[in-house]
Every structure is written in structure tokens, then in C-alpha cells.
A and B are shown apart, each in its own frame.
Chain A
Amino acid sequence: MPVVTYRDALNQALQEEMQRDDRVFLMGEEVGVYQGAYKVSKGLLQEFGEMRVVDTPITELGFAGVGVGAAMVGLRPIIEFMTWNFALLAMDQVVNSAAKMLYMSGGQFNIPIVFRGPNGAALQLSAQHSQAWESWLAHIPGLKVVAPGTPYDAKGLLKSAVRDDNPVIVLEGEMLYNTKGEVPAEEYLIPIGKAALKREGEHCSIITHGKMILVALQAADQLTKEGIRVDVLDLLSLRPMDVEAITASVRKTNRAVVLEEGWEIGGIGAQVVDYIQRECFDDLDAPIVRVHQVDVPMPYAKNLERAAKPDVPKTIAAVKKVMYLDQ
């Protein structure tokens, strides 16, 4: 199977979907002439021209709204945010226009749009540029939210997102763009709403999504050396969330660690824990432990940033805690 970067996997998905359906267009800052701030849209302007690969001014609120308007009357926009930090300016359009339109029009206007871009922290970008927004977005009825952590998942989920007739949020990762993985040469889709078991074990479940899947897998590798075998469940979709996959894993292992990049309060992990306590209360052998960013804005200094972020040692410590091996 060909090995490609996460960046190229997304690029393939964009290219294939734009070839397949001429109602699909890409709009955002630096997507055209500059070939994408992170080069995800490389070559697309050359192939599809200026009507379909559209460079915008720095007007997130404006072009998100342009996308929703175009979607109301039959186009299928892909709106790229340079990062989700800047998408905060567009939240009114994402939440009040895209997510609500179908409902408040009594089913008349669906919005087939994709909002995508890197989410979460990179390295030393400090407070305004290092934020993971999935719990905000997953909170909103009317949106679907996916967070692929590997090239394979990125391509399959982005293609499904483009074909979906609802607004879909695709959360990528700046630190993921250069990572590599196997991606089939032939076409495939990954269904929105299904989780994937990325590692099988019996002692504990690590439930996570997005870029944290890499952290979870590294933690799992290290734990294996100590004879601890864990399930690593990649949620992939945060709305809708695959509750069946969560319960199946926890019923098997009886212990869970929930790992995410964002903050604790109202986080994705809080929702996962709620599903577990509802569905698996009698199966649990220990309280669930959550791993997440320390409850502070992201600091710039290297050592403080390291201390703030969830990582492999913190995840391993959490697994040991739920296994009562931390004494």
C-alpha cells in the first residue's frame, strides 16, 4: 500500500472530490496562489482554476457566511480555516447559520458544507494560537464533527464529509501534516459516526481522538513492555459519537482512561465518561481517569508548554492509576 503524508492524504481527498463533483469548491486564506498555509491544497488552483480554489481576504466571518449562502442554493463548499483559532471569528456563521438552517427552515434548507483546518496546539505558539475546540463544536446540534489522527482516516473522513448533506467539521492537526501512513490507492470512504479500535488489549481502554491517537499508541507500546495490554479506541467522530464501540471496549477491559488535547471542563472526555457511567456502571473496576491539557491558557516557554500538554508519561501514569499500579 502506498505510504503518504497526512497532508497528501487530505490533498488527494480534495482533488478526488473536486474531480467527482463540480459543485465542490475550496475557499479560504492562502489556499490558491500560496498553495495552502500548510500546503494541503497544493496543485489544486492549477488543476481547478480560480472559481473553484478561491483565495479570500482575512475575513473568516465573511467567507464562512459566503460558504453557507452558496450551500443554501446548491453548491458544496469546503471552507478552510488557516487554523481553528481564527475560526472563532466565524463561529456565528458556523453555529447560527450552518448548524441551524435546516431546523429553523422546517427542513427546507440543508447546508452541505465542510469547515476544515488544523485544531489544537503545535509548538510554542502560545495562548491565542494553541487551542483545541472540539468540545465547543461537538456541543452544537446540527453539526457533525470528525477528528482524524492518521493519513488513512484523514482521507476517508474528509471524502465522507464532502459527500455528507450536512455541515461537517473536520479537525486536522498542524503537527500531523508531516506524519506518514498507509493509504490505499483505490477509493474508499470512512463512515462518519464510527470509532476504530486501533490496538487490542484486555487490561484497560484508552479512549481518544485526533492527534492524541499517536500519544495513546506510544503509551500502549510502552505499557506492553511492562505486560500491560490496552485497547486503544480512536473515536474518529465526536458527533455523532460511537457509544457502542466505547461500551464494547469498556465491558471487556473494565477500566478506562480518556485522553484528549483540550481542557477538562466540559471536554469531550466528560461526555465519554458520561456514556460509560450510563452504559457500563456495573462493569467498572475503578474510577475513570481523564488526561487533558492543564486548565490554563497555553504558555510560550518550552518547559511550561510541555508541562501543560497531555503526553505519553501522563497517559501511562493514568493507566497505572486505574489499574491500581501507581503505589
Chain B
Amino acid sequence: MAKKKSESSVSTVPSPASSRAAGVAPSHTDLLRQMLLIRRFEERCAEAYALGKIGGFCHLYIGQEAVGVGAISALRADDYVISSYRDHGQALARGIPPRTIMAELFGRVDGCSKGKGGSMHLFDRNINFLGGHGIVGGHIPLATGVGFAIKYRGGDQVCLCFFGEAAVNNGAFHEALNMAALWKLPVIYLIENNRYGMGTALERASAINDIAERACSYDMPNEVVDGQDVLAVRDAVLRATQRARGEHTPTLLEVRTYRFMGHSMSDAASGTYRTKEELEEYMKRDPIIVLRTTMEKNGEWSDTAMTALDEELKAVAQDAWDFADASAEPAVEALTEDVYVW
């Protein structure tokens, strides 16, 4: 394990794409950096979970990095992001510092939710990251509400809402989308279709398998997107933001991806509900490799530069770990704080 680095030698906040000025497209290297950061960070999460430093439910994003990174790279800093319990990747892509995310996962006072939320409930008000939410489908109406508030105030922001494909079978999804279409609200509903809701395959839970078609019930623009291609995700979300900002039209995106790990840290990667062969087949389209192939074609890839980038990001993950480890447990008085505002 690397030694703890001094603050100056490590960039703890690797430039989130969406915190830059609007209109400046991120380079392929920027997007790669974001995805690789999530990968290296979460590998350490798995390790910390095994050591008991992280507890409770912990759902990793590994395999799905292109979705969060590509989508959030299409946003402006004043847009809103809201997600489910599988939120580490989006939180990192949006720019919550790795240190405060890891401290949250360790249940420490410097965590982005002061150690009170944990893995499923990452929040950062400063960058309009409206949380990780634990009840399947529960946050989809919240996104509609954010869209309502944007329109109410006459703004041109959008709200980007991430959820899994299994959530579309829940009533909250339908109620939320109907209102957004009815009232023309600037919301992008992004389904991360990783093919499984826990151990249940999409085909065993949904009467139709092309879930983007659900948008037809609400006459809502929709697209099916390759979720392993960060550039394709970015482009689709950019198109949706244009519709949302201009005419306040909501969009439903079905982004097809795959999770490389178990549903949570307490579920095996393969076995009961999917085969090892299937997993290995999907892992060939690792989003990092897909982007690498593009970069190689464009002559943007250099092994030495990439090795250096990887080392840098491993150091960022190590720094986050060290920071979290050194952070104190919340004071016991914190137990009764934040129940109400006074």
C-alpha cells in the first residue's frame, strides 16, 4: 500500500467535467480520467468493505462508469443531479471530492453527509448533487419536482435523474413521467439498464424489453444509448439538455450497460442469476477499453502518459482512504442534530 502523500503532491479533486464553463467540451483524456478515477476509487471501496471500514449496503458502479461520466459531462455547473443508492460514480463525476466521499463511506465526520448517510446517501448541496436515495423509484418524482421548480423560477437548468431499469416497473416512475410530460418539465430521466435488478433479469420483470418505449405512453422523446461508450452517452444527454433548456421538454434515455460486480457487496458477481460466461462476455466491452480504442485510433493514446495517469489516480484513491481513516467519528451530540432546522 502506498504511503500517505502530502497534500501538495496529490490533486484530490480531479477536475469534474461538469464544473467547467458551459460549452467547453471535455477531452477524451478528461473523460478517461473520470472513468479511471471511479474504477480505482471503487476498487479501494471493495477492499475497505472487506476490512470492515465500510459497512451496511455498498453498491459498486464498476462497469457502468461511462454512463455517469458521459452524462454528467454534458451538464452545466448549475444543473441538478439526483441518483439512487448506486451513487459513488455519479458523485465523483459531478465533483464531490474523493476524500469526502470516502470519509462518508467510512462513517466519519468529514464525509459529504457528515457520516450520517453512508454509501447510499451521498449529498453535496454546493454542486447541486441532490443525493443518493435508497428506495427503488422513490427519487424519480423528486426529479420531477426539481424540474417543476426550475420552470417555476423561469430558469434554463435541467435535472438529470439516474435510476436502474428495474425501477421503471414501479408506480412512482409512471406517475413522475406523466407529470413531467404533462407540464413540460426540464428533466432527463436516465435509465441505467444494467440488465438486472438484484437477481432478476429485465425479461423476468418487465412486459416489454425495449424499455425506452415506455416513454410512448407519455409522448416523451426517448433514445436507446450504448452505455459502454462514454461519447455516445455524452451526445445523447447533450441532445436531451437542448430539448430541456429550450422547450422544457423531458426526455427518457435507456442507456444500456452492465455491472461487473455483484448487486451489492453481499452478492456474488455471478452464479445464481447470471453465468460467469455472460459476465466475461460483457466485460470485453469495458467502458475504459472502449474509449481507449477510440483514443488509439485517433493517435491520442500514449502508454507512458496512461501509466502516469493511472498512478496519479491510484494516489488520489489512496489519499482519499488516508483522509477518511484519519477523520474522526462524528461526535455523539451529532446524533440529535439535523432532525430539524432551527
Partners in one complex: yes
A293 to chain B, nearest CB (A): 11
Over the window 273-310 of chain A, the binary record of Cβ atoms lying under 8 Å from chain B Cβ atoms (1 yes, 0 no) is: 00000000000000000000011110111111001100
> Assuming the A-B contacts A86-B135, A126-B116, A126-B121, are A307 and B332 also in contact, with contact meaning beta carbons closer than 8 angstroms in the complex?
yes
User: Hey, which chain A residues are within 8 Å of B334, CB to CB?
Assistant: 299, 304
* B205 touching A57, Cβ below 8 Å: yes
> Assuming the A-B contacts A30-B200, A126-B118, A304-B335, are A58 and B55 also in contact, with contact meaning beta carbons closer than 8 angstroms in the complex?
no
User: Interface-forming stretch among B166-174, B182-190, B249-257, B281-289?
Assistant: B166-174
* A296 touching B272, Cβ below 8 Å: no
A321 at the interface (CB under 8 A from B): no
Count A-B pairs with CB separation below 8 Å: 127
User: Hey, which chain A residues are within 8 Å of B205, CB to CB?
Assistant: 55-58
Over the window 253-272 of chain B, the binary record of Cβ atoms lying under 8 Å from chain A Cβ atoms (1 yes, 0 no) is: 00000000000000000001
In this complex, how many residues of chain A approach chain B with their Cβ under 8 Å: the count is 36
A163 at the interface (CB under 8 A from B): no
A196 at the interface (CB under 8 A from B): no
- Bound form: Cα–Cα A304–B117 in Å: 11
Over the window 310-342 of chain B, the binary record of Cβ atoms lying under 8 Å from chain A Cβ atoms (1 yes, 0 no) is: 000000000000000000011010111001000
- Bound form: Cα–Cα A172–B85 in Å: 24
* A33 touching B272, Cβ below 8 Å: yes
B137 at the interface (CB under 8 A from A): yes
- Bound form: Cα–Cα A86–B113 in Å: 23
User: Hey, which chain A residues are within 8 Å of B206, CB to CB?
Assistant: 57
A124 at the interface (CB under 8 A from B): yes
A29 at the interface (CB under 8 A from B): yes
Residues on B lying within 8 angstroms of A by beta carbon are 55-57, 104, 107-108, 113, 115-118, 120-121, 133-137, 166-167, 169-172, 197-200, 204-206, 272-273, 329-330, 332, 334-336, 339
> Assuming the A-B contacts A58-B167, A127-B117, A300-B56, are A30 and B336 also in contact, with contact meaning beta carbons closer than 8 angstroms in the complex?
no
> Assuming the A-B contacts A61-B171, A128-B134, A303-B330, are A34 and B273 also in contact, with contact meaning beta carbons closer than 8 angstroms in the complex?
yes
- Bound form: Cα–Cα A129–B120 in Å: 10
User: Hey, which chain A residues are within 8 Å of B167, CB to CB?
Assistant: 58
A125 to chain B, nearest CB (A): 5
* B56 touching A299, Cβ below 8 Å: no
Q: List 25 A-B contacts (CB under 8 A).
A: A33-B200, A34-B199, A55-B205, A57-B197, A57-B200, A59-B170, A85-B135, A89-B170, A124-B107, A125-B56, A126-B56, A126-B117, A127-B116, A127-B134, A299-B334, A300-B107, A300-B116, A301-B107, A301-B108, A301-B116, A301-B118, A303-B332, A304-B116, A307-B332, A308-B335
11 extra A-B contacts, CB within 8 A, seeds A30-B199, A58-B166: A34-B273, A59-B169, A59-B170, A85-B135, A86-B135, A88-B135, A89-B135, A299-B115, A299-B116, A302-B107, A304-B107
Q: Which of B57, B104, B115, B169 contacts A57 (CB 8 A)?
A: B169
- Bound form: Cα–Cα A302–B107 in Å: 7
A37 at the interface (CB under 8 A from B): yes
User: Hey, which chain A residues are within 8 Å of B273, CB to CB?
Assistant: 33-34
> Assuming the A-B contacts A30-B198, A129-B134, are A304 and B332 also in contact, with contact meaning beta carbons closer than 8 angstroms in the complex?
yes
Over the window 194-206 of chain A, the binary record of Cβ atoms lying under 8 Å from chain B Cβ atoms (1 yes, 0 no) is: 0000000000000
